[in-house]
């Protein structure tokens, strides 16, 4: 693997991990903007803007973009989170020049009124569809409960009211505040010509205007509230819980990944054997969510409503036991190997390497080879895991429950 790096005069950072033996290449723009960078007047604009980027430029219409991507045989998409908007495509190496031309072009969208008005209906329909997904609502409302008035509690999709009231002028203003080349990372991975990549990106993006972009990084309060929302149309009880954890920049993020895997990995975890294996709950998982300047452990539980109280009691009991005892040798070995294998398998494809390179640079500002990630995961100790869960206190959590019951 050969890592290369360049920075244009306007602040656009370009990084790539080049593998001449790969059969494909990928590229992606990582824009450091998401729902935490919105205020109430433009709630959901980051995600809406993600859609609009594919609606055309001064030289391409939406059909032109879709047809060209299909003709290239590209695997492509975009996503918006609380903190980032990510646009990517993977193609055969011989199509590098064409995909660079296309992606660089669409990152400066025309934002036409007719496209905006049409796509607004698509966004409103998406909000309605997600309202029918209890697990999605539980995740979003758990975030809102835990972060309360902090920007990380903002909804990525926004609301019917905020999207309905959003104007094209507000979206253009948001784009002009957030889509600075200095607020982006352009990453590449796989079999690619880096010198040609830089030359073409400089030609296409070098004229983009640079401006200062900030982000509110005040400490997240981390509430310990419990909210129960009764919905008799929901057959199961859906329960979310969040508690403090290290940030995405913290070296202890590796320890947090191991801790979450031991407690709530998909199989062979504490919660699996305490809740899923004996059929007390049908879902019980915990993940570590490292964010910009903060982090959280996120747990999701799904069960029969009549057993919700029992599930929560067992969940709390398992957290306390883990904080008292820490992991066993076998649990630690299994979790380290699972995380290391997952990181390695993701890196087998340029797309997996692209995401790792881009997000590592976005959050920590440096290139971290996959071998280093794996080494740090495999070196986590029992003492580190126990110290971390005690210091962050797994029981200092917010809970949100959605389902037929009226209280936990």
Q: Which residues of 107-122 are buried (b: 16+ CB within 10 A; e: fewer)?
A: bbbebbeebbeebbee
CB 381 within 8 A of CB 116: no
Residue 122 C-beta-side C-alpha neighbours within 13 Å: 12
pLDDT value of position 386 = 98
> Is residue 62 predicted with pLDDT exceeding 90?
yes
Using 50, 70 and 90 to split pLDDT, how confident is the model at 124? Answer: very high
Mean pLDDT for 119-145 is 96
243 CB burial (10 A radius; 0-12, 13-18, 19+): buried
> What pairing do the DSSP bridges indicate for beta strands 25-31 and 184-190?
antiparallel
Spatial distance between the Cα atoms of 218 and 122, rounded to a whole number of angstroms:
33
| 93: nearest Cα among 175, 197, 6, 13 | 197
Domain ranges of the chain: 2-205, 226-403
> Is residue 354 predicted with pLDDT exceeding 90?
yes
Local structure of 39: helix, strand or coil = coil
Using 50, 70 and 90 to split pLDDT, how confident is the model at 279? Answer: very high
CATH architecture of the domain with range 2-205: 2-Layer Sandwich (3.30)
Mean pLDDT for 236-258 is 97
Residue 330 CB contacts under 8 Å (≥ 6 apart), including other chains: none
Q: Hey, which residues does 236 pair with through a beta bridge?
A: 304
pLDDT value of position 219 = 81
Spatial distance between the Cα atoms of 374 and 343, rounded to a whole number of angstroms:
7
Query: In angstroms, how far is CA 202 from the centroid of its own chain?
Result: 28
Using 50, 70 and 90 to split pLDDT, how confident is the model at 220? Answer: confident
Using 50, 70 and 90 to split pLDDT, how confident is the model at 65? Answer: very high
Degrees (nearest 5) of the Cα angle 331, 332, 338?
Answer: 90
Quick one: angle between helices 370-378 and 253-264, nearest 10? 60
Spatial distance between the Cα atoms of 77 and 116, rounded to a whole number of angstroms:
19
Give me the chain's average pLDDT, please: 96
- Helix H segments across 290-381? 308-325, 329-346, 350-364, 370-378
Mean pLDDT for 288-306 is 97
Mean pLDDT for 378-386 is 98
Using 50, 70 and 90 to split pLDDT, how confident is the model at 408? Answer: confident
- Tell me if domain 2-205 and domain 226-403 are identical in fold: yes
pLDDT value of position 257 = 98
> Is residue 234 predicted with pLDDT exceeding 90?
yes
Mean pLDDT for 221-228 is 90
Mean pLDDT for 243-248 is 96
The total number of residues written for the chain in this structure: 408
Using 50, 70 and 90 to split pLDDT, how confident is the model at 350? Answer: confident
CB 78 within 8 A of CB 53: yes
CATH superfamily of 226-403: Metalloenzyme, LuxS/M16 peptidase-like (3.30.830.10)
What does the block give as tokens for 357?
Answer: 């390179």
Mean pLDDT for 20-47 is 97
What share of residues in the chain are helix, strand, coil (percent, to 5)? 50, 20, 30
pLDDT value of position 360 = 97
Mean pLDDT for 269-275 is 98
Using 50, 70 and 90 to split pLDDT, how confident is the model at 144? Answer: very high
> What pLDDT digit, counting tens, does each position of 100-109 carry?
999 999 999 9
Using 50, 70 and 90 to split pLDDT, how confident is the model at 237? Answer: very high
Using 50, 70 and 90 to split pLDDT, how confident is the model at 256? Answer: very high
> Is residue 129 predicted with pLDDT exceeding 90?
yes
Using 50, 70 and 90 to split pLDDT, how confident is the model at 199? Answer: very high
Spatial distance between the Cα atoms of 361 and 15, rounded to a whole number of angstroms:
8
- Give CA separation, 77 vs 54, 192, 369, in Å: 10, 20, 25
């Amino acid at each position: 693997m050969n890592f290369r790096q360049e920075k244009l005069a306007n602040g656009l950072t370009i990084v790539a991990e080049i593998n001449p033996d790969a059969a494909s290449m990928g590229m992606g723009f990582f824009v450091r903007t998401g729902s935490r960078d919105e205020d109430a007047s433009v709630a959901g604009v980051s995600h809406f803007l993600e859609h609009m980027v594919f609606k055309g430029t001064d030289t391409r219409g939406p059909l032109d973009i879709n047809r060209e991507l299909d003709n290239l045989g590209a695997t492509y998409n975009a996503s918006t989170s609380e903190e980032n908007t990510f646009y990517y495509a993977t193609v055969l190496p011989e199509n590098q020049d064409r995909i660079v031309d296309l992606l660089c072009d669409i990152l400066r969208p025309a934002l036409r009124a007719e496209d905006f008005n049409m796509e607004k209906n698509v966004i409103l329909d998406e909000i309605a569809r997600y309202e029918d997904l209890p697990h999605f609502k539980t995740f979003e409302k758990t975030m809102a409960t835990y972060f309360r008035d902090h920007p990380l509690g903002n909804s990525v999709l926004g609301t019917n009211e905020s999207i309905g009231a959003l104007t094209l002028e507000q979206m253009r203003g948001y784009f002009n505040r957030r889509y600075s080349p200095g607020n982006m990372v352009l990453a590449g991975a796989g079999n690619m010509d880096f010198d040609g990549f830089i030359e073409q990106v400089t030609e296409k993006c070098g004229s983009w205007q640079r401006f200062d972009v900030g982000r509110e990084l005040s400490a997240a309060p981390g509430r310990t509230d419990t909210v129960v929302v009764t919905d008799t149309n929901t057959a199961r009880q859906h329960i979310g819980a969040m508690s403090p954890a290290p940030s995405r920049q913290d070296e202890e993020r590796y320890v947090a990944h191991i801790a979450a895997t031991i407690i709530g990995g998909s199989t062979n975890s504490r919660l699996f054997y305490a809740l899923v294996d004996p059929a007390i709950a049908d879902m019980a998982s915990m993940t570590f969510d490292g964010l910009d300047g903060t982090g959280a452990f996120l747990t999701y539980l799904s069960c029969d409503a009549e057993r919700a109280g029992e599930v929560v009691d067992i969940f709390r009991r398992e957290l306390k036991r883990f904080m008292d005892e820490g992991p066993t040798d076998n649990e630690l070995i299994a979790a380290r190997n699972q995380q290391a294998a997952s990181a390695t398998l993701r890196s087998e494809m340029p797309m997996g390497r692209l995401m790792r390179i881009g997000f590592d640079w976005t959050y920590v500002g440096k290139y971290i080879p996959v071998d280093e990630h794996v080494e740090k995961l495999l070196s986590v100790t029992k003492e580190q895991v126990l110290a971390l869960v005690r210091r962050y206190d797994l029981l200092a959590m917010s809970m949100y429950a959605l389902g037929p019951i009226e209280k936990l």
